[in-house]
Amino acid sequence: MGASRLGVAMPNAGPKPRVVIVEDESIIVDAIRAAFSEEFIVHTANSGPEGLQKILEFEPELVILDVMLPHLNGMEVCRQVRERFPDERIRILAITGYPSQEIVRQMQEAGASQKIARRDRLFPRANRRPAGLAQIVVENAVREEEE
């Protein structure tokens, strides 16, 4: 459910696609992990340097990347991933609790695959209904990309 709508090819047979979640708030990490663990092999990181290391190590099909991270922000992580993988085979969905036109512009310039997604729109029920989170993520990512 949802992976193909994010532009991630779902193989008919073989291993699940990989996602790296780079987010420093554990409640958000737990909600995303719960939502994606059925369809993806999930790796997590709670800082920019750790996230970059896991992205380079696992070469996931999808990265869910917080913009505001400790030690290395999401924009710089995105830039470094795009330097290594300019063909965009790794899709990057940027999320933030503090969206602004400037942040959207900077993340697009850094190479985010999707328009930036507001965490409060993606995770309005993260504490109450983590099972429905994957659908919320997909619907909001697609809706924002179409706007």
Q: Is the dihedral of CA 132, 133, 139, 140 positive or negative?
A: positive
pLDDT exceeds cutoff 70 at 122: no
Residues near 63 by Cβ (< 8 Å), separated by ≥ 6? Answer: 19, 20, 21, 22, 51, 55, 81, 90, 91, 92, 93
Angle 46-133-59 (CA atoms, 0-180°, nearest 5)? Answer: 45
Give the pLDDT confidence score for residue 129 in this predicted structure: 41
Average pLDDT over residues 28-44: 90
pLDDT exceeds cutoff 90 at 78: yes
Phi and psi of 26, rounded to 5°?
A: -60, -35
Q: Is the pTM of this model over 0.85?
A: no
Would you call 50 helix, strand, or coil by DSSP? helix
Q: Is the dihedral of CA 68, 83, 89, 13 positive or negative?
A: negative
Average pLDDT over residues 62-78: 94
% of the chain beyond a pLDDT of 70: 68
- The domain spans of the chain are 16-146
- Per CATH, is 16-146 categorized as 3.20.20.60? no
Q: What is the pLDDT of residues 16-34, one digit of tens each?
A: 899 999 999 998 898 889 8
Give the pLDDT confidence score for residue 1 in this predicted structure: 37
